[in-house]
Amino acid sequence: MKREIVIFGHPALRKRATGVDCVDAARKRLADDMLETMYEANGLGLAAQQVDETHSLCVVDVPAELDVLLPDGPRLNPAVVMPLIMFNPEIVARAGSEALTDEGCLSFPKMYAPVLRAGVVTVRFLNFRGQVQTCEVRGLMARAVQHEIDHLAGVLFVDHVAAADREALDAQLKEMERLGRGKTG
Ligand SMILES: [Zn+2]
């Protein structure tokens, strides 16, 4: 079932997620709903807070054609099976050089701003079957994983935008916040 995505200003986006002790049927259903919602919105990732839930759960799906450094180049993460459904995800290692790239978020319609992220991260989580899984991801997939895990701590991508770039976004953010607050989602 598709859920409504809450917009910046909605209090759910600033809540810290609660860890899950097991992956039961209701949580699997939530993961399925989140995937459906993310695909419908053409997003690469979605965190539970964005559908007004508080479980520590996020999903990521970077399509093969975007999992490259250059168009038609080799895949950066050929061994990582999409989608990633991650309960209690935790970044256990960061590596690679950091990259400053424009980022967006389904809770910030039509807003993009440069964010510095680690190029390679290792993430540990409970997968859809409730098993502990660890995987190393790079490039855009690493960016998406860092972005979604931030959401679970109530941290939003605009929090990472440098002050000089943030100024340009302020008017747009204020308007979004006003609309987002009014929305019960
Ligand atoms: Zn986001």
Q: Tens digit of pLDDT for each residue in 153-162?
A: 999 999 999 9
Mean pLDDT for 112-134 is 97
Average pLDDT over all residues of the chain? 95
What range defines the domain where residue 16 resides? Answer: 11-182
Asked whether the CA dihedral 147, 151, 156, 159 is positive or negative, the reply is negative
- Ligand 1 center to residue 45 CA distance, Å? 7
55 forms beta bridges with: 18
Residue pair 4/46 in contact (Cβ under 8 Å)? The answer is no
| 6 within some domain | no
Structural domains in the chain (count) = 1
Q: What is the pLDDT of residue 113?
A: 95
Q: What is the pLDDT of residue 81?
A: 96
Distance CA 130, CA 47 (A): 18
pLDDT bucket at 184, cuts 50 / 70 / 90: low
- Ligand 1 center to residue 32 CA distance, Å? 18
Distance CA 148, CA 150 (A): 5
Answer yes or no: pTM beyond 0.85.
yes
Read off the pLDDT of residues 51-84 as tens digits, 9 standing for 90 and up: 999 999 999 999 999 999 888 899 999 999 999 9
Classify residue 89 by its DSSP letter. Answer: E
Mean pLDDT for 93-122 is 95
Residue 185 in this model has a pLDDT that exceeds 60: no
Distance CA 46, CA 52 (A): 11
| 147 within some domain | yes
Distance CA 4, CA 41 (A): 10
Q: What is the pLDDT of residue 179?
A: 83
| 61 within some domain | yes
Residue pair 4/175 in contact (Cβ under 8 Å)? The answer is no
- Ligand 1 center to residue 119 CA distance, Å? 18
Distance CA 135, CA 157 (A): 23
pLDDT bucket at 164, cuts 50 / 70 / 90: confident
| 32 within some domain | yes
- Ligand 1 center to residue 107 CA distance, Å? 6
Return the closest-CA partner of residue 31 out of 9, 6, 55, 66: 55
- Ligand 1 center to residue 13 CA distance, Å? 9
| 175 within some domain | yes
**Catalytic residue from among 148, 167, 175, 177:** 148
DSSP SS3 for 15: coil
Length of the chain equals 185
Instruction: Indicate which CATH number applies to the domain containing 25.
Output: 3.90.45.10
| 1 within some domain | no
- Ligand 1 center to residue 23 CA distance, Å? 23
Mean pLDDT for 141-145 is 98
Whether 175 sits among the annotated catalytic residues: the reply is no
| 174 within some domain | yes
Q: Which position has the higher pLDDT, 96 or 21?
A: 21
Mean pLDDT for 37-43 is 97
| 171: CB partners within 8 A, 6+ apart | none
| 2 within some domain | no
- Ligand 1 center to residue 134 CA distance, Å? 22
